Structure 1
């Protein structure tokens, strides 16, 4: 009896090789995948009780310990510090906020200094800007002083009329006119006082600006003239 075709193929060496090839390739790929190093590295650490652990990801048992990340050849790729406690996290967040405030203040100072240098190339330019700002205040003060003199002139006939009522109660109309004149004069005097205070403020502003500009003109870097803000007390 002739053997079946399947039996003849089973005992031919070439058929065995053909059948075994795909199986060997599959097994080899599986073994290579199992031994391929993790792209994130190999984590290793020693637990508080002395056990040495290794994993292809951060080790939960060593959160409070330093963990080393190794390459496939055993060399150290990086070191992962211990996880911070809640108190350490709060302190780190506070430091981060302070640094952000300082960076923002530094950037504001740089912008302000650059704007100053763009506006004022020299001291005469700055002085002209000061005088222009003061002129507006001086004009307003002159208007108030002029109005105050006008009110004094308007008040004279009222006072002359009031002489007829010396020792007596003034007529309501005359009393109202005097009161209105007094209130208007007080308002103008208050305006003059405010304008004088504004002149002091503007001069102080330009004095501070000029002192800063002199240092910038001398070569100080924009933003380098301010101290960083002090941390806010908690």
Structure 2
């Protein structure tokens, strides 16, 4: 293992030397017990410590970092990956905040966007409410006809019409509940954005705040349909 460490250190030193001034380097380091060592080649006693590489005139050419074991190298690479991921996440957060401010320079602009997003959900809910009202009107003559069969089985056609009416009403009620959930989701999203925007408008640095987080998802769209008459 010691031979492998020294060999790796020599290879590393060669790479460093290629970037330095021509001529032989002077390696110097301080051991864990305080001894200062100097050599014309990488110092085996200092494989785990930083070594300064000097030119022949005593000026510093470069620094040779500690030679890491495979376990140490793996740990360092993992730490480097985490740091890189954090940098990318921070850059993304800055871009998102800047984009948010550009999209909504004022609270009025943000409110207009909220109203537009809510408009479709409100329209869909009103359509379903009107449809339920129409279905109620369609059901009245069916119920009047069913009075003639009180205490007796309904004709198959009449029963099918009543069942279809019930199914249509139920489907519209599901759609209304979905749109109510969508309105809650939209308002939750815009409330969170507005709170963040107020801080950004007040001078908070982009990317300096925690992320908005995952917002509630839209309710699934009902696909139920009434049976054919």
Aligned to 2:201: 217
Q: Distance in 2 between matches of 1:68 and 1:105?
A: 35
Q: In the alignment, which of 88, 93, 108 is matched to residue 109 of structure 1? A: 93
Say what the alpha-carbon RMSD is for the aligned residues.
2.9
Please name the residue that 2:72 is paired with: 88
- Cα pair distance change 1:83/1:218, threshold 3 Å: same
SS in 2 for 1:82: coil
- Which residue among 157, 162, 166 is the counterpart of 2:141? 157
Aligned-partner Cα distance in 1 for 2:86–2:97: 16
Does the CA contact (< 8 Å) of 2:24 and 2:56 recur in 1? Answer: no
Paired position in structure 2 for 1:132: 116
Aligned-partner SS, 1:135 = helix
Distance across 2 between alignment mates of 1:187 and 1:54: 86
Q: What's the secondary structure of 2:52's corresponding residue?
A: strand
Query: Which residue pairs with 2:54 in the alignment?
Result: 70
3-state SS of 1:169 partner: coil
User: Post-superposition shift, 1:90?
Assistant: 2.8
Could you tell me how far 1:79 is from its partner in structure 2?
A: 2.9
- TM-score of the aligned structures, taking structure 2 as reference length: 0.71
Work out the CA distance in 2 between the residues paired with 1:171 and 1:59. 102
TM-score, length-normalised on structure 1?
0.69
Q: 2:128 aligns with which of 98, 120, 144?
A: 144
Matched residue count: 190
Question: 1:157-196 CA distances to partner (integer Å, 9 max, x unpaired)?
Answer: 2222222222332222222222221111111101100101
Cα distance change on mapping 1:66 and 1:127 into 2, 3 Å: closer
1:92, distance to aligned residue in structure 2 (A): 1.8
Work out which of the two has the higher radius of gyration on C-alpha atoms and give 1 or 2: 1
